[in-house]
Amino acid sequence: MARTAIVVCWAMAIALALFLLAPLLVIAAASFSPTPVFDLPLTGASTRWYGKIGRLDGFWPSLLLSLQIALLSTAISLVCGTLAAIAIARGKLPGADIFATALVSPLMMPGLVLGIALLQGFRAVGFTAPWATLLVAHLVITLPYVARTMIAGLSQFDFTLIEAARTLGCTYPGSVLRVMVPALAPSFLIAGIFSFLASFDNYPVSIFLADVRTKTLPIRMLQYIEEAPDPTLAALSTLILAGTVILLFVSDRVVGLHRMAGTSD
């Protein structure tokens, strides 16, 4: 019976791996389709759909907008979230648990509900400029990722190291910069990547704040899929996937190198 259980476990793991990869492989294969319909298995290969991405209606402004919002909101969240995580992890803050729960809570809330709540809220105070509302809204999307990752990372960090640096004559900012920053770099990188992806991929919040001229890339993409899906969209998706793979690979390398250098346990 135990042996049967092990076989079932492995069968499930392999099935799961194939099932999870299936949509990614299909998108990549479809992007090289020689015909405008997704004829799989492929009867030939063509890269012409990649050349058509740039000519999709409104593609460049949407890409630029999504990159701006994702980079800026991630940067701001990294600063605010890390500061908060330091205060929470150091244990000098009364009610630290409540703060930690509050900062991470948007992760479990339906994105669409947050979207309409923000739409109502921003309207109520007369804050309606789409670019600015998108940026502010994406702070709530990115901050919980940063807070969660940095609180977890800091819980491993020994704060007496900072005291030690101060005892040796470092100023407080100086000791933070030389002791804490290198030790936390891996968590910082992971927090940054996941919050960037969460913002770059967000649809349910952005849809309520966008207008005809200010549309993020996910909004554009859903519109393309609903209007006229052709392999151009698969090509665009493949490029985004490739970018994600590179981002994960590089971060793995960088974080790995940091660990090898012994700056983090």
Partner 1 sequence: MTEAALPAPMAAPSVDRERLAAFGFVLPSVVIIAGVFALPLVLLLGVSIVDANGLTFAHYKRLLGSPYYLGVIWNSLRLGLLTTTIAFLISYPAAFALARARGALRSLLLATLFLPLAASVIVKAFAWTILLRSDGIVNETLIALGIIEDPIRMIFTETALIVGAVNIFLPFMILPIYAIVAQLDSRYAEAAATLGASPLVTFVRVILPLTLPGIIAGVALVFSLSVSAYVVPTLLIGEKYPTLATTIAKAYLLTREPGFGAAAGVVLLAIAIAVVTLSARMSREPK
Applying the rule CB under 8 A, the residues between 1 and 40 that interact with partner 1 are 1-2, 5-6, 8-10, 12-13, 15-17, 19-24, 26-27, 30, 38, 40
Kindly state the smallest distance separating residue 215's Cβ from partner 1, in Å: 13
Our finding on whether 88 is near partner 1 (CB under 8 A) is yes
Beta carbon nearer to partner 1, 96 or 185: 96
Which residue in 204, 258, 263, 264 binds partner 1 (CB under 8 A)? 204
Question: 262: helix, coil or strand?
Answer: coil
Q: Using CA atoms in the order 31, 36, 41, 42, what is the torsion angle rounded to 10 degrees?
A: -70
Choose the stretch contacting partner 1; rule: CB under 8 A; options: 46-54, 89-97, 176-184, 253-261. Answer: 89-97
Our finding on whether 109 is near partner 1 (CB under 8 A) is yes
Our finding on whether 176 is near partner 1 (CB under 8 A) is no
Our finding on whether 120 is near partner 1 (CB under 8 A) is yes
Task: Locate 127 and state its tokens.
Answer: 């804050």
**CA dist list (Å): 43 to 32, 55, 157, 223, 239:** 10, 26, 55, 29, 22
Longest dimension (CA), the chain: 71
Our finding on whether 212 is near partner 1 (CB under 8 A) is no
**CA dist list (Å): 50 to 32, 53, 64, 194, 237:** 9, 6, 18, 27, 10
d(CA 123, CA 209): 10
Kindly state the smallest distance separating residue 124's Cβ from partner 1, in Å: 6
Q: Which of residues 228-257 bind partner 1 (CB under 8 A)?
A: 229, 233-234, 237, 240-241, 244-245, 247-248
Cis peptide before 41 (omega within 30 of 0): yes
Between the two ends of the chain, the Cα-to-Cα distance in Å is: 40
Kindly state the smallest distance separating residue 209's Cβ from partner 1, in Å: 11
Beta carbon nearer to partner 1, 226 or 265: 226
Which residue in 65, 106, 130, 154 binds partner 1 (CB under 8 A)? 106
Which residue in 71, 80, 161, 185 binds partner 1 (CB under 8 A)? 80
Q: Which of residues 47-76 bind partner 1 (CB under 8 A)?
A: none
Task: Locate 225 and state its tokens.
Answer: 């899929």
Q: Rounded to 5 degrees, what angle do the CA atoms 111, 143, 159 make?
A: 145
Number of residues that bind partner 1 (CB under 8 A): 90
